[in-house]
Structure 1
Amino acid sequence: MKKRMIGNLEVSEIGMGCMGFSHGYGKAPSELDSIQAIYKAYEAGCTFFDTAESYGKEQFYSGHNEQLVGKAVESFRKKIILATKLHIHNDELNNQETLYDIVFRHLQQSLKNLRTDYIDLYYLHRINENIPVEDVAKVMGQLIQEGYIKGWGLSQVTVDTLDKAHHVTPVTAVQNLYSMIERDCEKEVIPYCLKHHIGVVAFSPIGSGFLSGKVTTHTHFEGDDVRQWVPQLSKENISKNQPIIELLNQYAQKKKATLAQISLAWMLYKYPHVVPIPGSKNQERILENLNASQVILTDEEFNQLEKALHNIEIYGHRGIEESEGKTFSQNWQK
């Protein structure tokens, strides 16, 4: 698989979101199946794996996903880029710890969970409005100097927040919601990141599965499946958003690819610093997504696709600005 740069880190042009092995898409697979899927992804050329301290729910617990990923990648840890995220909760601000102490405590637990002595990319999972982002940036800069992390990032932020942070400690990557059906990042965040050599890591690049064409009005989301809260995936909006599926079908047939692969190929063509991290708990889907790197759009195909997309109205919108206590859903944070 081809590589691209996010900040100072070289990664496979398609990464892997690992959340689904712990929660978020209904019943999680077994640990053995999850570890095998991660290894298969590595064999297929993926060198960029994304997790978070908070991924783990119901029968699992905070840190479950990190522990799973750490176990899966241990034998090839030095050959990959490992990203994880922390939350800073308000109840942590009521004691005598400094912000550095709080962040370092979270980091130490993540290092233990991931069976490593450094993190390549350490994100603030959501902005805490009670902590200036500049203060977080200063702490991240110290952690970089001390060798605990190689780079740092922010998730679900606007360009104003990003700019404040970047002026204190250069940001390596922004992990925001971005896909054909959520394109807010194209207005300001992606251009800013391109100008300042910041990577954009796109989560839910297949629109929580919608852009695969496999989600219909008859699809039932069970248990903790996050898609029951995705605005575009209400039954009404699934019906209204079918024109984009019809468009993808045209290109999928022409390129002998899947709809999901076309949506990823579009993203890779459009921006040199955007790296999608599709998430799935299904090994077949994971490998299908990674193989999107083999689907190459011509200039003419991309331009026609882009023109058609601009003429399609999308129903349902989540946006990219989220913070602690004001999130997409109380039940889920990607």
Structure 2
Amino acid sequence: MPCALLGDRASGKTTFLGLLYSAQVKYGTGVQDDFRFHAPIQSLNIMSAVYEGMKDGRFPSATLKEEITELGFVFGYLRKVVGKLPYYIRQQNWVHPFSTLRFSAYDVSGEDIEEFIETGIASRPLIQQLLKSVVVCVLVDCSKMTTEIDTPAYKKMLRYDSTVAKLLVSFQTYKKQEYDRLKDSGVRADSPKIYPVFVLSKFDTLRDDVLARLGLHRGFPDNNRARKEYAEALLRVFVPQTLSQIRGGKVAGVSMDKSAYFLSWVRTETHEGMDPVGQSKIVRTGFAPEGGGEPDFSYDEYVNFIEHFREIAHKIPDEILEAERFQAQVMARSA
């Protein structure tokens, strides 16, 4: 199942991917062994360099960031089979014990999105791959959240909101077109669905005056409903168009399943007065049985992020398999 990660320039996307990779390495080598991941060689080359740098206390370099056009992992979740094997497994030549999810990050320009909006044609292969995603993960940079509405940071957030909102409409348009095409071909298909996820990146940079104006406390709640209310209080102010398109998907004929919300932070060295020590340097944990010199970051949030997709990965394969069969039927009929 394809999953896309969207993030603005300097939103912490490469750092997020580095921390996600670090969490996967730690979580994927745990004793329980019900989660595994795989990185293709191109992605592994980049992420290994990011991981090595973070274990040395360094953030990803600008050179590495420029190399990321498309970066992906494959998440594998152990499937618990009880009794009769499900339909999807019976169709395989041999039993695959893991449900999988392809997690990809794309560096897509606003111009490419505008081109698709205006023409309805996804000319670049990268855009075509992006539009096929079933899960859409949106990074929202907390460092750009400010009460000063005339600042460059606030205006960047406004532009990003417009871009993501248009891209969500592009997802909806593409999937509705594919659905209508299948129906017109006489193929029975379920209504399309997209699973949205929001990650509040650089959460530790969220300003006290922003929280005070919105009536929020510092610290993300644990309860799912409280997390939703907390996150949407921020999104309603800083990315309102994006939030409205998530909610409005059903009206457009493409259901957008209930959003999930996560945060990301990484601890950096500071003076006694809490000012950064020169160029930001990542604080690392000491040596421990589960590993040494790991970056000090919101690990539990990343584990929750990974686990959020377990249920989705288990229930999506039948839908994806059927969609592929629909495509094959359409091709056969048009041949």
| TM-score, with structure 2 as normaliser | 0.33
Name which one, 1 or 2, has greater alpha-carbon Rg: 2
| Structure with the largest fraction of helix | 2
| TM-score, with structure 1 as normaliser | 0.33
